Structure 1
Amino acid sequence: MDWDDFRLVRAVAEAGGLTRAAERLGINPSTAFRRLAGIEANLDTALFDRHRAGYVPTAAGLAMMAAAARMAGDVERFTRELAGQDRNPVGELRITAPASLVADMLMPALGRFTRTYPGLRLHMVVAEEALNLSRRDADVALRASDAPPATLVGRRLATIAWALYGRADLAGSKLDECPWVVPSDGVAAGRFTRFCENRGAGERVVLTLNTVLGLREAVEAGLGIGPLPCWSADGRPGLIRLSGLEPELGAGLWLLTHPDLRHSARVRAFMDFMAEEIAALRPRIEGTTIPR
């Protein structure tokens, strides 16, 4: 049997149908239908029960899916090990980071990095969710986390400090009457929602966002006061701190990679370079610079 047969069966099982599986594999549904029918004819057994709700794998389908997962794991492991053996910082490097860190913090540093290592081509994957570095969805991840995955290695670069901010023209206003803007309950396991409720401001929330991106702009636009990372807000002329640092909102800033890639010249060059860049920004990130 061909490796692509295993990939198709696994994709159909995970997607629950032919259309989404075909999209994932980059083929059209009719091709997927013919190939699956051919595999089942060759094996003389049904791999899926067809229901109106989708495709459900039979016992044979589950066995083939498990074999496909083992084969994919071997391929991914080989690819990581091969990538980890490069000795020169050239080629492609995939980096992932949340959108809130990319524009203000990462882009200036990436500009300096590409000038230092012109042989590297960077691919930035902007994602709030944690990508799978074992599958090489990315080679290096910059993440805000209190508990990074035990399967990854790296270093804690700083602690991201947060405080309550508002527009400068709020000076002298009664903060207990101001509207609030906050990340929604699905962000950071609900810590921002709890922060807001603990201050009795739950009924005054006028805007929630399912990401940190856009939060600063909402406060600057005058929608309300809200928690912001100090590195993002302290340099904005129209914003002022309305509180001290809020430890319950803080999180570690981690630079992570897979253990198989830690000795890769590309990964090592990026991690060492970025550690120095972040070290220079650490007072801003940790909120220890004196705000206006």
Structure 2
Amino acid sequence: MAESERMNQAAKPLAWDDFRLIKAIADKRALPAAAAALGVNHSTVFRRLGQIEEALGTKLFERHRSGYVATPAGEEMIQLAGRVDDDITAFSRKLAGQEIKPAGELRVATNDSLLVDLLTPLFARFLAQCPDIRLDILIGNQAANLSKRDADVAIRATDNPPETLVGRKPARIAWALYGRAADFPDAELPSRESLWERSWVSLGDQFTMLSAVRYLARHVTPERVVYKLNTVLGLAEAVEAGIGIGFLPCFIGDTRPGLRRFGEPDPDLAADLWLLTHPDMRHTPRVRLFLDFLAVELGRLKPLVEGERPIGRTAAPVGAPAESQLP
């Protein structure tokens, strides 16, 4: 390449896409993974990286066995890309917060059990009342990054919501111990000692942040836990199928006639139910309307969510006296 051509190429201003590409390589440390994140093919990333490095006249990455490692020049470009990305995200949030009517798409992050056993009827009523809003539901147990607009609202069970978010706490999710009703036909509830000797179902080790999982690990020997899941969604089905007894959220267990509850909900196993959003989004009409609606609807369901019903029965009147409880 002629010296004049090289100088002209070096003088060409960098585009935002160039920064995005360099940041993706730094984040993923491999070209195929960076290409997947950017939605392009591997050869395109390889070619564009070479073009950027040639235009700048310096290497941005060294290739090691552990992956692509940024050079000092690459680190500087990556830091600048991060700042620009944050500024663009903040600008998008600011504009979204200036909506003048509740309309458009609303991205809501939650988990599968809350969606299936509690939230879907509420979402249906909300959409019927607000036909100009569309819901995009994101399911997962990992917290969505609301600062990056992965979602507009998160609905989570947690006692430690991120300090960077704001929200409301309409109820506290109660957990209790359940078994298949057909396996416990006697009016008198079994003793705690006899229950420890039964087969159990539980969430997997990746759910140790939940008090119910830690409690079970302390009191039940590992060989008694015959069935583990990585989702709350299948837990009630396992108990109802007779695989074993287990702890369930009361809003799931108390609505199933095939299950029997063995005691009052344990306050130490409960977790707060939060409706969360980013501070920049809380005054957005569609977000504010959605949070207001859910706060009211979940408030009406508070007795169910907090397990206020007689022990050993399903769908009994709220506030009736308990028959007995687990010692």
TM-score normalised by structure 1 residue count? 0.97
Supply the RMSD in Å over aligned alpha carbons. 1.3
Say whether residues 1:48 and 2:68 are aligned partners.
no
Q: Distance in 2 between matches of 1:127 and 1:6?
A: 30
Instruction: Look up the match of 2:300.
Output: 280
Change (3 A) 1:37 1:26: same
- Whether 1:4 aligns to 2:26 is no
Match of 2:234 in 1: 214
Number of the residue aligned with 1:254: 274
Normalization by structure 2: what TM-score?
0.87
Instruction: Decide whether the 8 Å contact of 1:15 with 1:21 is kept in 2.
Output: yes
Structure 1 position 197 matched with structure 2 position 217: yes
Counterpart among 167, 187, 202 of residue 182 in structure 1: 202
| 1:212 to partner: Cα distance | 1.6
Residue of structure 2 in register with 1:166 after alignment: 179
1:90 counterpart letter in structure 2: A
Shift of 1:104: 1.6
Q: Does 1:121 align with 2:168?
A: no
Distance 1:11 1:200 in 2: 45
Aligned with 1:243 (options 250, 259, 263): 263
Gaps of 5+ in 1: none
In 2, Cα distance between equivalents of 1:229 and 1:190: 11
- Superposition deviation, residue 202 in structure 1: 3.5
Aligned residues: 292
Tell me how far apart the structure 1 counterparts of residues 263 and 200 of structure 2 sit (CA, whole Å).
Answer: 14
Cα distance in structure 1, aligned partners of 2:60 and 2:219: 56
Residue 76, structure 1, aligned to residue 89, structure 2: yes
Question: How far has the Cα of 1:237 moved from its partner?
Answer: 0.8
Deviation at 1:9, TM superposition (A): 0.3
CA contact (8 A) 1:157 1:253 kept: yes
Shift of 1:175: 2.0
For residues 212 and 39 of structure 1, the distance between their equivalents in structure 2, rounded to whole angstroms, comes to 48
Q: Among residues 143, 146, 151, which one is paired with 1:130 in the alignment? A: 143
Aligned partner of 2:34 in structure 1 is 21
SS in structure 2 at match of 1:255: strand
Question: Could you list the per-position Cα deviations for residues 23-75 of structure 1 after superposition, in whole angstroms to 9, with x for gaps in the alignment?
Answer: 10011111111110000001100000012332111111111111000000000
Which whole-Å CA distance do the structure 1 matches of 2:256 and 2:64 have between them? Answer: 57
Identity %: 52
Greater alpha carbon shift after TM alignment, 167-176 vs 54-63 = 167-176
> 1:244: how far off?
1.9
Q: In structure 1, the residue corresponding to 2:68 is in which secondary structure?
A: strand
Deviation at 1:188, TM superposition (A): 4.4
Partner of 2:156: 143
Q: CA deviation at 1:289?
A: 2.7
Detail structure 1 runs of 4+ shifted over 6 Å in the superposition. none
How far is the alpha carbon of 1:178 from its aligned partner?
1.2
3-state SS of 2:228 partner: strand
Specify the SS of the correspondent of 1:192.
helix
Unaligned 5+ runs, structure 2: 1-13, 314-327
The 3-state SS of whatever aligns with 2:169 is strand
Counterpart contact for 1:185–1:192, Cα < 8 Å: no
Counterpart amino acid of residue 33 in structure 1: F
Aligned equivalent of 1:227, options 247, 258, 267: 247
Deviations 1:235-283 (A, max 9, x none): 1010000122122211000001000001000000100011111011100
Task: Provide the rounded CA distance (Å) in 2 between the counterparts of 1:98 and 1:142.
Answer: 8
Secondary structure of the corresponding residue to residue 121 of structure 1 = strand
| 1:116 aligned partner, one-letter code | Q
Cα distance change of structure 1 residues 232 and 190 upon mapping to structure 2, 3 Å threshold: closer
The structure whose Rg is larger is 2
Per the TM alignment, residue 125 of structure 1 is displaced from its structure 2 partner at its CA by 0.4
Distance 2:145 2:177 in 1: 33
Given that residues 185 and 191 in structure 1 are in contact (C-alpha distance below 8 angstroms), is that contact kept between their aligned partners in structure 2? no
- The 3-state SS of whatever aligns with 2:205 is coil
